[in-house]
Amino acid sequence: MRFSEYMNEWLYGEEGYYKKFKAIGKSGDFYTAVSTSSFFGASIANYFYALLKEGKADRNGWLIEIGAHQGYLICDMIQWLYTCDPALVKTLKFGIVERQPEVQKAQLAYIQERFGDDVQITHFNDIAEVKAAYAFVVANEIFDAFPCELFKDEKIALVNEHQIEWTEAPAEMLNWVKKHHLKQGEIAVGYEVFAKEMAAGIEKCDFVSFDYGEKYVRNDFSIRVYRAHETFPLFDEDLTLSESYQKDDITYDVNFGHVSEAFVAAGFEEVSYETQARALIRFGIIDILERFAKQTTQAKYMSEADKIKTLISPTMMGDRFKLVHFRK
């Protein structure tokens, strides 16, 4: 089978890595911005609130998260929106795009724990199910979880009994790599369909997403496996695919040029592309921290400041992670 099919089964098959709820953070395989600080979600909500005040977003529309894991991010956003304007929790509708039933259950339990019956969440199995006049859609680290093909020397990877083999790439792919000046690396599969489905179902949309990568091809392989905070390049001789398959996370750096190309072709405009540090500061994360400082202890303030440093420091998440904002 093609590597993209193998990766899809690895992550989303019946026994796939994401089939059941996975811990993120110290007890999991990796950290995310969401698991680092609740102020990550608060700052995105602060940006959404600014769009609402400017009349660029609809207070009667939807707030939707894609790939919400336990539900921390959308809950942190709802909490901050309530702080800004309690009436928004009554006018906005809230949704999560999540295909795994076990994960849906974990999300609903957490949302019930946070808000009781005051907040109702609608689950969608796929972005294609969302039909809305307006939606603010947010995602954290989803583009790196799309299956990908591996390309090298005009060949693509096949997987046979957990062993990688190489075969001649089809003409259509050769045309794509020539256009994008790719010699070797990953080619994500599914960006175009994803963008078209979002565009088809949502009349007016702001889509904000964070992920790690660059806006160009690396011409090298970034695909790797995460296990208990250790990283193993896919072609590392110490990594045995049959042992990691469906047990560990597998990911790669996002080519944001490819993402942007897919969304622009689907009718979106690219509003912004910048480092996570620049985006969060522009969204008001420092102002939110200072507001927090006025109503908490010095110890709690310092603890939260350290977490935010992780989010915006150039040597940590600040520069490696990027924000992209598309609007339709």
Residue 96: partners with Cβ closer than 8 Å, 6 or more residues away: 64, 65, 66, 68, 71, 74, 104, 107, 121, 122, 123, 124
User: Are 35 and 163 in a shared domain?
Assistant: no
Distance CA 74, CA 58 (A): 17
State residue 113's pLDDT score: 95
pLDDT of residue 295: 86
The count of domains in the chain is 2
Same structural domain, 183 and 195:
no
Q: How far apart are CA 124 and CA 243, in angstroms?
A: 33
Do 48 and 184 share a domain, yes or no?
no
Q: What is the pLDDT of residues 204-230, one digit of tens each?
A: 999 999 999 999 888 999 999 998 878
Beta bridge partners of 250: 225
Tell me, what DSSP letter sits at residue 318?
Answer: T
202 closest CA partner among 58, 47, 41: 58
- Tens-digit pLDDT profile for residues 30-78: 456 666 778 899 999 999 999 999 999 999 999 999 987 889 999 999 9
* H helix or E strand, kind and range, residue 138: strand 132-140
**Residues 91 and 79 reside in one and the same domain:** yes
**pLDDT, tens digit (0-9, with 9 covering 90-100), for 170-187:** 999 999 999 999 999 999
The encoded tokens of residue 246 equal 């469906």
Question: Are 15 and 156 contained in the same domain?
Answer: yes
CATH number of the domain residue 310 falls in: 3.40.50.12710
Percent of residues, the chain, with pLDDT higher than 70: 95
Q: Say whether pLDDT at 296 is over 90.
A: no
Which helix (H) or strand (E) covers residue 18, if one does? none
Say yes or no: 184 and 42 in one domain: no
Q: Return the axis-axis angle of helices 298-312 and 276-283, rounded to nearest 10°.
A: 140
259 and 224 together in one domain: no
Same domain, 138 and 170: no
169 and 195 fall within a common domain? no
Q: Are residues 135 and 204 in the same domain?
A: yes
Chain centroid to CA 93 = 21
Cα atoms in the 13 Å half-sphere on the side-chain side of 34: 24
Task: Give yes or no for a contact between 256 and 273, defined as CB atoms under 8 angstroms apart.
Answer: yes
Q: pTM of this prediction?
A: 0.92
233: β partners: 224
Are 96 and 74 in contact, with CB atoms under 8 Å apart? yes
Same domain, 75 and 198: yes
Distance between CA 186 and CA 254 in Å, rounded? 9
Strand partners, 88: none
The per-type count for the chain, helices as H runs and strands as E runs, is 13, 15
Same domain, 263 and 204: yes
Range of the domain at 259: 31-144+189-213+253-328
Please check the confidence at residue 147 and state whether its pLDDT lies above 90. Answer: yes
In the predicted structure, residue 28 carries a pLDDT above the cut 60: no
Residue 267 has pLDDT above 80, yes or no: yes
